[in-house]
Chain A
Amino acid sequence: MKVNAGPASTMEPARAYSFAEIFREHARFLWRALLGLGVRPGDVDDVCQEVFLIVHRRLPEFDGRALRSWLYAICLRVASEYRRSARVRREISVAELPESQAPAGQLDAVFVGELGDRLLASLERLDDEKREAFVLYEIEELPLREVAEVLGCPLQTAYSRLQAARSLVRGDFSGSTL
């Protein structure tokens, strides 16, 4: 992952991270981000595992800068692949699936409430770029500069994507009250 040495990178000097440390400090956030990125609750564990296997494999080549951006970038890629394959899977096999229910403990572990659910549904309608910008900025609350870093785009582009996403999501929520 190419990471430019912006302000955050200077605040976060390069250093070595252990895999365990990364897992400990970031797993819960990456897991959450996957949910926002469209991974279905019953699949989040699997996809998160995939993310961390990649992290583990690529850690030796990680330059030790901007760890969070690096992690989210991996997360985004894996989620994007997931969404593509999930779409295919859904189209093919919806009829066969009811038998294969996720274990009970899995699905209820993710509780986002009615409004969270509505937001997920709204995110589902965004294209990948907007969705990613939105999730990183509004849910993960990364600074915009870091969002751009993760997305691998100029700051202004990240800003535009975010604004576009916000406007669409706001549209979905307009007129609704808590």
Chain B
Amino acid sequence: MTTEPKRLRLGSDALAAGLASLQQAQPSEARLAALAARLADAGAPVEGHAVEAPSSTFQRVPESRSSLRLTRAAKVFGPGTLAVLVALVFGGGLIATAILIRKADTPLVPARPPALPIEAQQAVGPATPPAHPLADAPAPSGAAATRGPEAGDAQPQPTKPPEVALPVPAGDAVAPSLGSEARLAPPKTAGSEPSPASPSPAEPAARVDARPAAPSTRAETPAAAPGPEGAPLAANTVVESEVDLLKQARSALSADPLQAFALSERCRAQYPGGAFAQEREYIAISALVRLGRDNEARSRASLFRMHYPNSAYLPRLARMLGE
């Protein structure tokens, strides 16, 4: 009997991270809804999906299979512990930064291509730090902080910020070949144009329309969404709002730091001026430390200090790096 080879994704190299990226490449609810609508038009109705797709289908997203790494972490820690962990990490200035960024939402366009690989980022060095709008984020306030992630959590997934927001430059910088291929691809029947005959959700159209205005909507989306507390974490992992990505990353930190790092990088690429840049960087640095990549962790931490000289994370970062 042939034994199951260890999955490459479980490695700790670039290939593992690439695999993790591809595994994350799942369609948004809006996109699925559009697909369902097209199927209905073509005589293969998906009951319920096209009409009420975005929010309701999301709730029924199965936890099946491997895509939802978070569930693994949830099993290790138990959902309660996980929630507390996430709350702790996100607690640092989450609400405060969210509010802040809405006040000062100017520097949302990154100073450099948002998703440079980490080597490139570090080659750039401290002289040209990423332009995050959060430089002066105040220390967190306890009550607001603990509530933070949950509030973001409840963002109705169908809006799917990444799709709304991903600026064209990011796509170009990050995945040139993919982008150009996509551009070359003949549109055929566009996924975002479900036929008028079928009751399709507003999201696809809204998603496309919203793109030009992307940066500010991106920053606001995660923080602006109120919602039920205590929703199970795992239920949200498919959708990739900034908060969701970071929650996944945070959850993966202990069990799978590489995955955590990949997710935080993905988040950085998708939300270069994101509202939770500090949280993201903190997670990324933690992951690097856990991966034993101390030099990278340190140089990233020094960038962090430059950008967020008043951050509440600084003491923790120093402890983590043994400083």
Using a CB–CB distance below 8 Å, which chain A residues touch chain B? 18-20, 23-25, 27-29, 31-32, 35-36, 40-46, 48-49, 52-53, 55-57, 89-90, 94, 97-98, 100-121, 137-141, 143-144, 155-156, 159, 162-163, 166, 169-170, 173, 176-178
Binding stretch for chain A, among B95-103, B140-148, B228-236, B262-270? B262-270
| CB–CB A144/B5 < 8 A | yes
Residue B7 at the chain A interface, CB threshold 8 Å: yes
Complex contacts, B261 vs chain A, CB 8 Å: 178
Q: A23: which B residues are within 8 A, CB to CB? A: 36, 39, 46, 49
Docked pose: A109 CA to B181 CA in angstroms? 14
Cross-chain contact A113 with B184 (CB below 8 angstroms): no
B162 proximity list for chain A (CB < 8 A)? 109, 111
B299 at the interface (CB under 8 A from A): no
Shortest C-beta distance, B85 to chain A (Å), equals 24
Would you call A137 and B7 a contact (CB within 8 A)? yes
Q: How far is the CA of A52 from the CA of B32 in the complex (A)?
A: 12
Task: Please give the distance in Å from A46's CB to the nearest CB on chain B.
Answer: 5
User: Shortest distance in angstroms between A144's beta carbon and chain B's nearest beta carbon?
Assistant: 5
Name 19 interchain pairs, CB-CB below 8 A, sorted by A. Answer: A23-B36, A25-B62, A31-B26, A32-B25, A46-B189, A48-B27, A97-B184, A101-B187, A102-B187, A103-B187, A105-B192, A105-B208, A109-B28, A111-B269, A113-B175, A116-B18, A117-B178, A118-B18, A176-B14
Contact residues of B between 229 and 266, Cβ < 8 Å to A: 238, 258, 261-262, 265-266
B26 / chain A contacts, CB cutoff of 8 Å = 28-29, 31-32
**A138 adjacent to B19 (CB under 8 Å):** yes
Closest to B270 in A: A111
Would you call A163 and B5 a contact (CB within 8 A)? Answer: yes
- Report how far A28 CA is from B62 CA in the complex, Å: 10
CB distance from B6 to the nearest CB of A (A): 10
Query: Which residues of chain B (140-184) have a CB below 8 Å from chain A?
Result: 162-163, 166, 168, 170-171, 174-179, 181-184
A-B CB proximity, top 7 nearest? A116-B21, A42-B185, A45-B191, A107-B182, A115-B18, A119-B18, A56-B44
Cβ contact within 8 Å between B204 and A40: no
Is B57 an interface position by the 8 A CB rule?
Answer: yes
A18 and B48 alpha carbons, distance in the complex (Å): 12
Whether A27 contacts B27 by the Cβ 8 Å rule is yes
The DSSP consensus for interface residues of chain A is helix
**A103 and B44 contact, CB distance less than 8 A:** no
- Cβ of B226 < 8 Å from any Cβ of A? no
Residue ID in chain A nearest B209 by CB atoms: A105
Q: Chain A residues with Cβ under 8 A from B176's Cβ?
A: 117
Known: A31-B32, A104-B211, A105-B208. 17 other contacts (CB 8 A): A28-B26, A43-B188, A49-B35, A49-B38, A55-B44, A89-B186, A106-B192, A107-B182, A110-B178, A111-B269, A112-B21, A112-B175, A113-B115, A121-B177, A139-B19, A139-B22, A173-B13
A9 to chain B, nearest CB (A): 17
* Contact, CB under 8 Å: B179 / A107: yes
Q: How far is the CB of A162 from chain B (nearest CB, A)?
A: 7
Q: Quick check: B22 and A120 within 8 Å, CB to CB?
A: yes
Inter-chain CA distance A101–B183, complex, in Å, is 5
The winner among B28, B35, B43, B261 for most chain A CB atoms within 10 A is B35
Cβ 8 A contact of A109, one of B15, B66, B117, B163: B163
Closest B residue to A148 by beta carbon equals: B2
Q: Does the CB pair B117–A20 fall under 8 Å? A: no
A119-B35 contact given A31-B26, A109-B27, A141-B66, CB 8 Å threshold? no
Residues of B within 8 A of A101 (CB): 183, 187
Asked if B2 and A41 sit within 8 Å, CB to CB, the answer is: no
Residues of A within 8 A of B64 (CB): 25, 29
Bitwise, B283-295 to A at CB < 8 A (1) or not (0) is 0000000000000
A20:B49 contact, CB within 8 angstroms: yes
Verify if B75 is at the interface (C-beta below 8 Å from A): no
Give, as a whole number of angstroms, the nearest-CB distance from B235 to chain A: 14
Residue numbers in B under 8 Å from A110 (CB-CB)? 25, 178, 182
